[in-house]
A and B are shown apart, each in its own frame.
Chain A
């Protein structure tokens, strides 16, 4: 595995129990420095519990973890270099956005002029003097991200940062996270928007029922899944004949949306094209499709024997 010094997060055999209930079971995963790492899993899979342990908010029941090379037993050693938004934004409703950030900046010992810079950076420059309770959900999310950026962090941990944002806001956050990663900041982001995670994450940690079922490069995960050959005949009437032909040649196939989806590797496209031609069927298109992260996620999180890294 990677050299420990090149890791932003190193979790080894970490567990958390609440009485008899296991929230996280022997989790092990590593996040390299300078990457964007997606953290995905169904509700209740242990994502927020893990994040809280990494930030020293709750104690672990077993195992170890290191953040930026420091043990989570001593959060004071690494938290000054970490920015975080946990389980959505949380601020004082009666204070303005700027006052809320001023409270955190004072607490952390950061210069107050950084607050104005960050408010502009997240698109709240003209609403900083409005009370937090008047903010929309999207504005609250932006303020939460601004608060997380206060320490000019080496590691940014964000829990559902695009929750409540409109498509334009999601795009802005995506670009912001990319630019932060380009500046060398490691971003560890949990989200239920898997398409978003797929677009921005080089690394992925996947949880199910408190257990890590995958960690590693996103492309490695997707490539491990079986591709699909998507075939479209010139005449739609030939779909059923094509399906029978595929099954006869030993590849399971299903018809959907006027196309035939065949469980086969990409290198089977030429032999199949030839077989279809010899059967008197002309194909208008043939393409190899990898499953999306969402499809992979559902397959892995619904499959009890899902592969573990």
Chain B
């Protein structure tokens, strides 16, 4: 009769501890805990923060001035950096000699390692203003005194006008990534206001707004964006175009957020704690801001992090088609204009490289958004 099933006391302790911690944790803490369980989302968040920080330093990472063009060095393939020179550590690039085939007029480049250009780090290069305030001229990678970066080093090759791809990709990140943030502010505004009104008041207003949302969702966005973007006069400045594009994209991107907000308002209306607030005499605004909104924040943040990549994709697509930002503005989309047909893609593969940061940042935002969305509902599961 010796079958004593004794459960170890640690489990009992762990249980009690866990339960007691959970019962006193605030909503924010719950959400934070759930979020950190998603390793992928956390990593994405960190990477994104790093990415956005580097956009402020874009020129530092660039080697050549992004607008410097010289047709004769157009469509040059990437120059690999060699780190060793006959056994010694001496980073350098080999010069590229271009020859044009007289029959096909196609230009090919061959590396000529007799002409070496040393590669130095933290060198002086073209001038720029950090944060548009502080004049600087240091760059991460560059060439020594006496050489001109614009003529000697092309880490990722050049585009059809001979402009350095590496530098342009770095500088493009600024516009491409920021448009996401700016556009999302408008989306937030439309989404929260309309969704909130719809969910909070219900009834006729709700029906009308619901119909509007349905119609907006049923409209194919890209043709409409194309048309609206094309309607912008070409005489507008870059800034005006930038903001109009964000406006155009936001006009159609707010529906998802509105539906989420409306859904939350509708279900929260039925919740007992709202009834309690009403019964205790709170007025409408107070109810909305102090009682309903806090449960909304997490959902809003999740929806926002999923809306940003949408903006990035949309701007990239529009600029790719030539309808978005115009030269001399640089975004990843404008950089991809050179790849509009099979021939370019086949012959000048490096022109597609800007696609990778686009895909990368979109993936990061999606991972982040997914993690946030799962964490947003601390009472599910």
| Chain A complexes with chain B | no
List the interface of chain A (C-beta within 8 A of B).
none
